[in-house]
Amino acid sequence: MSGRLPGVAERAAALDAADPLAWCRAEFVEGEPPVRAYLDGNSLGRPLRATAARLQELVVGAWGTRLIRSWDEQWMQLPLELGDHLGRVCLGAAPGQVFVGDSTTVLLYKLLRAAVADAMERGRPQLVLDTENFPTNRYVAEGVAAETGAELVWLSPDPARGVELEHLREHLGERTGVVLVSHVAYKSSWRADLAEITAAAREHGALVLWDLCHSAGVLPVDLDAADVDLAVGCSYKFLNAGPGGPAFGYVATRLQQRLSQPVQGWMGHAEPFVMGPGYRPAEGVRRFISGTPPVLAMAGLADTVELVDRVGLEAVTTKALALGAFVVEVVDEHLAGLGVGVASPRDPGRRGAHVTLTHPDARELCRRLWEVDVVPDFREPDVVRLGLAPLSTSYAEVATALEEIARLLD
Ligand SMILES: Cc1ncc(COP(=O)(O)O)c(C=O)c1O
Ligand SMILES: Nc1c(O)cccc1C(=O)C[C@H](N)C(=O)O
Please indicate whether residue 248 is annotated as part of the active site. no
What's the pLDDT band for 85 if we cut at 50, 70, 90? very high
Q: What's the rounded Cα separation, in Å, for the pair 289 and 71?
A: 15
Strand order across the 151-155 sheet: 98-100, 247-251, 230-234, 207-211, 176-182, 126-130, 151-155
Tens-digit pLDDT profile for residues 135-177: 999 999 999 999 999 999 999 999 889 999 999 999 999 999 9
Looking at 31-103, list the stretches that DSSP marks H as alpha helix, in order from N- to C-terminal side.
Answer: 49-57, 69-70, 78-86
Please name which ligand lies nearest the alpha carbon of 108.
Answer: 1
**Structure letter (DSSP) for residue 281:** B
Cβ distance 114 to 147 under 8 Å? Answer: no
CA distances from 185 to 94, 292, 377, 406 (A): 26, 31, 15, 26
Is pLDDT of 332 > 60? Answer: yes
Is pLDDT of 2 > 80? Answer: no
Return the amino acid letter for 63. Answer: W
Please give the torsion angle defined by the CA atoms of residues 342, 343, 349 and 351, in that order, rounded to the nearest 10 degrees.
-110
Binding site membership of 229 for ligand 1 (Cβ less than 6 Å): no
- pLDDT at res. 1: 44
Query: Active-site residue among 54, 237, 319, 351?
Result: 237
Binding site membership of 103 for ligand 1 (Cβ less than 6 Å): yes
Tens-digit pLDDT profile for residues 316-326: 999 999 999 99
Residues with CB under 6 A from ligand 2: 43, 186
Cβ distance 384 to 377 under 8 Å? Answer: yes
Please indicate whether residue 237 is annotated as part of the active site. yes
Residue 44 Cα to ligand 2 midpoint, Å, equals: 7
Residue from 134, 102, 101, 129 nearest 116 by CA? 129
Cβ distance 396 to 9 under 8 Å? Answer: yes
Query: Burial level of 301, CB count in 10 A (0-12/13-18/19+)?
Result: buried
Domain boundaries defined on the chain: 8-48+312-409, 77-309
Cβ distance 84 to 94 under 8 Å? Answer: no
ipTM for the whole complex: 0.96
Which phi and psi (to 5°) does residue 359 adopt? -160, 140
Q: What's the rounded Cα separation, in Å, for the pair 242 and 31?
A: 15
Residue 69 Cα to ligand 1 midpoint, Å, equals: 34
Query: What percentage of the chain's residues is helix, strand, coil (to nearest 5)?
Result: 45, 15, 40
Residue 134 Cα to ligand 1 midpoint, Å, equals: 7
Cβ distance 100 to 301 under 8 Å? Answer: yes
Q: What's the rounded Cα separation, in Å, for the pair 270 and 266?
A: 8
CATH architecture of structural domain 77-309: 3-Layer(aba) Sandwich (3.40)
Query: Active-site residue among 211, 229, 303, 377?
Result: 211
What's the pLDDT band for 302 if we cut at 50, 70, 90? very high
**Quick check: bond before 33 cis, omega within 30?**
yes
Residue 235 Cα to ligand 1 midpoint, Å, equals: 10
Please indicate whether residue 211 is annotated as part of the active site. yes
- pLDDT at res. 76: 98
- Helix, strand or coil for residue 235? coil
pTM here is: 0.97
- pLDDT at res. 4: 86
Q: Which residues touch 197 (CB under 8 Å, ≥6 apart)?
A: 163, 165, 168, 179, 181, 208
State which of 42, 130, 136 you would mutate to test the pocket of ligand 1, scoring each by most atoms of that ligand within 8 A of its C-beta: 136
Query: Active-site residue among 38, 99, 236, 248?
Result: 236
Residue from 210, 309, 330, 235 nearest 41 by CA? 235
CATH assignment, 8-48+312-409? 3.90.1150.10
